[in-house]
Amino acid sequence: MKLTQFAVCLSLAATGNTLAAEKMTTLDDQQSVAVTIYNQNLALIKDQRKIQLSTGESELSFRDVSAQMRPETALLRNPKQPKALSVIEQNFNFDLLTPQKLLEKYLGKTVEIATLNPATGKETIEKAKVLSVQNGVVVQIGRRIETNPRGRYIFPEIPSDLRDRPTLTTVLRNKIQDSQPVELSYLTGGLSWKADYVAELSNDDNQLDLLGWVTLNNKSGTTYKQAKLQLVAGDVNQVRPRFKRQIEKLHVRSAMAEDNSMREESLLDYHLYTLNRLTTLADSQSKQVSLLNAANVAVEKEYLLQGQSHYYRGQYGAIGQKLKVAVYVNFKNSAENNLGLPLPKGIIRVYKKDQDGNAQFVGEDRIDHTPNNEKVELKLGNAFDITANRVQTDYSKRRPSRSHYSYAAKSDFKITLKNAKKEAVTVTVREPIPGDWQITQESHTHRKVSANIAEWKVTIPAEGKTTLSYSTLVQY
């Protein structure tokens, strides 16, 4: 609903004794704030402020908290003297003050509407009962019913359950007269992070420089000023989170390079990245911070032709002409290879300089969380100058010699690989073969990579071609 002429007039004197006795804390009282962001739109906030409370029971309004707070996870305490402060009751007021919300709270109640006569300049104020605020405003003024009446609305007060900012209101029992530190910790949505990487290949495609960035998004409804920022990489179970226990088990395993702005630690079975400086996460803001910077990482370029398991289940004849051969860049995430740090999941975008020294985009791929000493495989695209023709030259089906098989199928294949480049290349031909299989005849020696994968390394001369032929016997 759009209200074009809307003004709110409030009589704060009418708020009563409850608000007068209420103690309010804002960001002006904040001493520190720590933000730990997880992968699944989840964050742990630790907001510490210094306040003075009356002894005995009192009401405290903790303002400027996340609008997406999970109130059942909130914990308010004095971290230095836990027994000095106890929470009796708490209420999370996330119904924020807006013209629409204010009208909804006054549904069935009486407000005033002020209208201005443009000819005389005289303002007229009439009492109106709010009947509906769905798809517009319906009011009763005297004996008449009007929809979307012209003018500005005047309300006598702000309803107690409406706040201009997200607020956690608590009833406390306090034993300390002097000011004291109070820490509010809670889980919230609205905060997320992701990793992005930029890699530049060397001229000979055997090395790359890798730069990692973390992109932070804050849609939680509040700002975290000069926050200690930590990021958790891993899939945390949110059914029964146990963050205190996890944090107590922190153990430093390795660190980012000294000139990087984040350090890495292990956290239970996850990985924790800590920004080495304080940073401000403004509401409705996207921010990028440096994660890592690695140079001279050894890589291996691979050309891959991937087959399909159904090729071995029937008679096909010509399977494909000018089939695409994929281009991969692979490297090992190890200390010996100038890396050796857990890489959060994200997208790696790869560039390479042309003859004039201008960096050109050559492909991207998504990686999952990658531990130390694991291999990273990036598919950059399909080769332009390398193609393949695949033909099934023979197929026959027969009863197997052993009784516990239902049938056996014999297939012969010929794969012609063509290379238009001015240098020789090696293509990996990877075939997923179902059932109980064996290669009965082949022009090149295969390697059994796994129970259902046969792999050949086929070298193609410059501006030439090579034919791979092989026969399989598959039993089901």
Using CA atoms, how far apart are residues 378 and 470, in angstroms rounded to an integer? 29
Write the pLDDT tens digit of every residue in 305-329: 999 998 898 888 889 899 999 999 9
Q: What is the pLDDT of residue 387?
A: 96
Using CA atoms, how far apart are residues 19 and 13, in angstroms rounded to an integer? 10
Using CA atoms, how far apart are residues 129 and 291, in angstroms rounded to an integer? 58
- In what side-by-side order are the strands of the sheet with 436-442? 436-442, 464-475, 408-419, 375-398, 318-332, 300-306, 425-432, 453-460, 447-450
| Residue tagged 């409030």 (tokens) | 10
Q: What is the pLDDT of residue 258?
A: 43
Tokens representing 273 are 């990245």
| Residue tagged 């004291």 (tokens) | 180
Q: What is the pLDDT of residue 157?
A: 87
Using CA atoms, how far apart are residues 101 and 370, in angstroms rounded to an integer? 47
Using CA atoms, how far apart are residues 391 and 412, in angstroms rounded to an integer? 9
Q: Where are the beta strands (DSSP E) in 52-179?
A: 56-63, 75-77, 85-93, 110-116, 123-132, 138-141, 144-147, 152-154, 167-174
DSSP-derived secondary structure letter, 72? G
Render each residue's pLDDT in the chain as its tens digit; 476 residues. 444 344 444 433 333 334 336 788 999 999 999 999 998 789 999 999 999 988 899 889 898 999 899 989 999 999 999 899 999 998 886 666 778 888 888 899 999 999 998 888 899 999 999 999 988 999 999 999 999 999 999 999 888 767 767 888 899 999 988 899 999 999 999 999 999 999 999 999 999 999 999 999 999 989 999 999 999 987 776 654 444 444 333 333 333 434 446 788 887 778 889 998 999 999 999 999 988 899 999 999 999 999 999 889 888 888 989 999 999 999 999 999 999 888 999 999 999 999 999 999 999 999 998 989 999 999 999 999 999 999 999 999 877 655 566 778 999 999 999 999 999 999 999 999 998 999 999 999 999 999 999 999 999 999 999 999 999 999 87
Residue 268: count of CB within 10 angstroms of its CB: 18
Q: What is the pLDDT of residue 195?
A: 93
Q: Which of 183, 186, 193 is nearest to 279 (CA)?
A: 193
Q: Mind giving me the DSSP string for 359-385?
A: EEEEEEEEE--B-TT-EEEEEEEEEEE
Q: What is the pLDDT of residue 238?
A: 61
Q: What is the pLDDT of residue 191?
A: 95
Using CA atoms, how far apart are residues 304 and 307, in angstroms rounded to an integer? 10
- In what side-by-side order are the strands of the sheet with 138-141? 144-147, 138-141, 123-132, 110-116, 152-154
Q: What is the pLDDT of residue 445?
A: 96
CB 107 within 8 A of CB 100: no
Using CA atoms, how far apart are residues 341 and 292, in angstroms rounded to an integer? 9
Exposure class string for 336-353: b at 16+ Cβ within 10 A, else e: ebbbebbbbebebbbbbe
Exposure class string for 10-27: b at 16+ Cβ within 10 A, else e: eeeeeeeeeeeeebebee
430's torsion region: left (phi>0), alpha (psi -120 to 50) or beta?
beta
Distance of alpha carbon 44 from its chain centroid, rounded? Answer: 15
Q: Which of 137, 126, 130 is nearest to 107 (CA)?
A: 130
Using CA atoms, how far apart are residues 229 and 273, in angstroms rounded to an integer? 8
Q: Which domains does the chain have, with CATH numbers?
A: 12-96+162-188 (no CATH), 107-154 (no CATH), 191-298 (no CATH), 300-333+374-475 (2.60.40)
pTM equals: 0.70
Burial (Cβ within 10 Å: 0-12, 13-18, ≥19) of residue 139: buried
Using CA atoms, how far apart are residues 227 and 241, in angstroms rounded to an integer? 23
Assign 280 to helix, strand or coil.
strand
Angle (CA) 436-438-439 rounded to 5° is 155
